[in-house]
Amino acid sequence: MASTNQILTITEARLRTSRILPRALYEYIEGGSEDETTLAGNESAFRSLTLRPRMGVDVEPNLATTVLGSPVAMPLLLAPAGMVQLVHPDGAVGVARAADAAGTIAVLSRTAMCPPEEVARRSHGPHWFQITSTGGRDVVKRLIARAADAGFTGLVVTLDGPPAGNREADLRNRVAPPARITTGLVARFAAQALTRPRWTVRTLAAARSQRAAMSGTMQTLSSGAMRTSARFTWADIEWLKSEWPGQLLVKGVLTGADAIAARNAGADAIIVSNHGGRALDGVPATIAVLPEIVAAVGKSSEVLVDGGIRRASSVAKALCLGARAVLIGRPFLYGLACAGQAGVERILEIFRAELVRTMKLLGCPDVAALDGRWLWLQPATTCSPLCPNQT
């Protein structure tokens, strides 16, 4: 296997991933819902923002910050993602360990195919767990109690499903989060697996070794998954706040009014997200709605954002518009597919190194100093209303 150091960009990691994974699994990661308008918009909206650097200063930038009081070495976290165990046997534990190594936080998805106890036992944390309403309050209550007992401190409540977005490639490929890896599951990818020997060998080995270890443990995680369920309401968020002993983040907010409602229901932080363009197609790019949400909640809640972040310059732009930190989804999955935990570490190192360079070229000494004054909006020659105090 090629050294992870040979991966220089997220785009390269994506290309390698397309050669390693069976097509159906690659399409599960890569795809968005329906016409993928929102998916495309997430990335292109970052491109339409332009940075406003200062000359005549030489800085050694500080990237460290806190998110809900937890120190992180850089303002970039790993978003929850389902089926990571199928992407690489290092799975959710490998992702959590990579986050440990980079001094950041990985959010464990309910459908990551790995129990919270396992992640807590084999990585340092801080650990955050993600939940959907699927299965109803009884199932949710059991799940979050397990996560809390395992030492998870943050609960990320995903609001933008069920139902899942209309991802037609997944429907065609019959891909949906399973409870655990089985040889039968690998066989379902059989035709494609023949042309993806590296993935097939490592996944079959994982299927054999996990059969004993994982059976049973995962059943509660996905029980109820086959039943459709109602979406979380603000009343459910209040209920979750009373049940969960740690901090509560809501994910999937796209308007200022909903951010206020979430805060009033007890959310400690808001994650501006459109599920990476995988939920409702046609909603705006997250970076486009971030300013509305930051303006709505002011300093009363931390605001995080995800969707379409493939370069550290996008991280800087999000912070300029008021995000406390960002999350990445697909980029770390590419790293995982390429080289397991080491691949995720490589992706995080690419972002870290790019962010240092971006901050130096901006002439900005600290991520905490990034605000609207470091941005122009289109057209690049016009000062934006976001930066009235530009000097």
Residues that bind ligand FMN (CB under 6 A): 28-29, 42, 79-82, 109, 111, 130, 158, 251, 273, 275-276, 278, 306-309, 328-330, 333
- Say whether the peptide bond before residue 163 is cis (omega within 30 degrees of 0): yes
Least spacing, CB of residue 321 vs ligand FMN, in Å: 17
> CB–CB of 285/318 below 8 Å?
no
Of 28 and 376, the one with the shorter C-beta distance to ligand FMN is 28
**What count of other Cβ atoms lies within 10 Å of the Cβ of residue 161?**
18
Residues 178, 137, 159: CA angle, nearest 5 degrees: 70
Least spacing, CB of residue 336 vs ligand FMN, in Å: 10
Is beta strand 247-253 parallel, antiparallel or unpaired with respect to 269-272? parallel
Least spacing, CB of residue 50 vs ligand FMN, in Å: 21
Of 130 and 229, the one with the shorter C-beta distance to ligand FMN is 130
The number of C-alpha atoms within 13 Å of 114 and in the hemisphere containing its C-beta is: 32
Least spacing, CB of residue 250 vs ligand FMN, in Å: 11
The active-site residue, picked from 88, 124, 127, 275, is 275
**What count of other Cβ atoms lies within 10 Å of the Cβ of residue 371?**
15
Of 336 and 362, the one with the shorter C-beta distance to ligand FMN is 336
Residue whose Cβ sits closest to ligand FMN: 329
Of 29 and 269, the one with the shorter C-beta distance to ligand FMN is 29
Least spacing, CB of residue 306 vs ligand FMN, in Å: 4
Structure token pair of residue 29: 């990661």
Beta strands in 208-295, from DSSP E residues, in sequence order: 247-253, 269-272
Residues 6+ apart with CB under 8 A from 103: 64, 71, 72, 73, 74
The rounded distance, in Å, linking the Cα atoms of 196 and 199 is 6
Least spacing, CB of residue 109 vs ligand FMN, in Å: 3
Question: Among this protein's residues, is 275 annotated catalytic?
Answer: yes
Question: CB under 8 Å, gap of 24 or more: what pairs does 209-212 form?
Answer: 210/85, 210/180, 210/181, 211/182
b/e string for 194-221 if b means 16 or more Cβ within 10 A? Answer: eebeebbeebbebbeebeeebeebbeeb
Closest CA to 236 of 384, 137, 351, 359: 137
Residue 363's Cβ-count burial label (10 Å; 0-12, 13-18, 19+) is middle
Catalytic residues: 275
